[in-house]
Amino acid sequence: MQISFEPVGILHSPYKQKFAIPRQPRLIPQARAWLALADHVNHPDTLRGIEDFSHLWLVFAFHETMEKGWSNLVRPPRLGGNAKKGVFATRATFRPNAIGMSAVELIGIKKKGNRWGLELAGIDLLDQTPILDIKPYLPYSDSIEQAAGGFADARPETEMTVEFSEQAQQFCLQQSQNYPQLMAFITQVLKQDPRPAYKKKREGEQTYGMSLYEFNIQWRVNAQHHFVEEIR
């Protein structure tokens, strides 16, 4: 059986590349995005009552990587990239059906021009991700207090500190009209340490770059410290 879906929306996210996206939703509350409804559902009736929910489930396609296939076993980053787990025992993006799901915060309904949409926060999705479905998050049923979390039982904690150069601070100040949360957002992204596991083990200073919104951010890492050198 083949099943095909037409996306109900496209997500407009500050994450322009996979690198630096947190591994799960809500780890970075400042990560805001706008979900634009597709033409066939672009009507306020499809959203009626949604503002009464604080959180939503997004079901989406891992569109950027879906062509790359999948394997039975994956190496979760959580386990330092060493141990292997079955694909269905992980939230890996490389799956037989490249479908992801994220519980995100609903800020509110937001229309731009004649396009209805939703303002969201705490997202872990790439820019332009096709959204297959939107459902309200139901705390009484979706939250299971005694659930066992396997190899990912607790929220990942990192001890990274973040410092901004004079240029980087000035840059964030200049953008504060359009992006009032920019500095807090960059800080949160770096605090969760986006580096791949094998690089975290490396000694000495390393230089990295990432794209958030239309900005390019360059930083240096030494031990547990990120120094944001330049933002362009």
**Is residue 65 close enough to count as binding ligand SAH by CB under 6 A?**
yes
Map tokens 């791949």 to a residue.
196
Smaller CB distance to ligand SAH: residue 21 or 221? 21
Contacts of 188 (CB under 8 A, 6+ apart): 27, 28, 29, 30, 31
Select the span of 22-30, 34-42, 111-119, 204-212 touching ligand SAH (CB under 6 A). 22-30
H helix intervals, 42-100: none
Map tokens 């360059």 to a residue.
218
Q: C-alpha 63: how far from its chain's center?
A: 14
**Is residue 181 close enough to count as binding ligand SAH by CB under 6 A?**
no
Rounded Cα distance, 170 and 77, in Å: 34
Binding ligand SAH (rule: CB under 6 A), the pick from 23, 84, 110, 220 is 23
Rounded Cα distance, 4 and 24, in Å: 26
**Is residue 12 close enough to count as binding ligand SAH by CB under 6 A?**
no
Smaller CB distance to ligand SAH: residue 91 or 111? 91
| Interaction pattern, residues 24-43, with ligand SAH; x per rule: CB under 6 A | xx------------------
Smaller CB distance to ligand SAH: residue 95 or 226? 95
Contacts of 185 (CB under 8 A, 6+ apart): 14, 28, 30, 31, 179, 212
**Is residue 194 close enough to count as binding ligand SAH by CB under 6 A?**
no
Residues 90-149 that bind ligand SAH (CB under 6 A): 91, 93, 100-102, 124-126, 129
Q: Are 194 and 160 spatial neighbours (Cβ–Cβ below 8 Å)? A: no
Rounded Cα distance, 58 and 137, in Å: 9
How many residues make contact with ligand SAH (CB under 6 A)? 18
Select the span of 18-26, 150-158, 170-178, 217-225 touching ligand SAH (CB under 6 A). 18-26
Smaller CB distance to ligand SAH: residue 13 or 227? 13
What does the binding site for ligand SAH look like in residue numbers (CB under 6 A)?
18, 21, 23-25, 62-65, 91, 93, 100-102, 124-126, 129
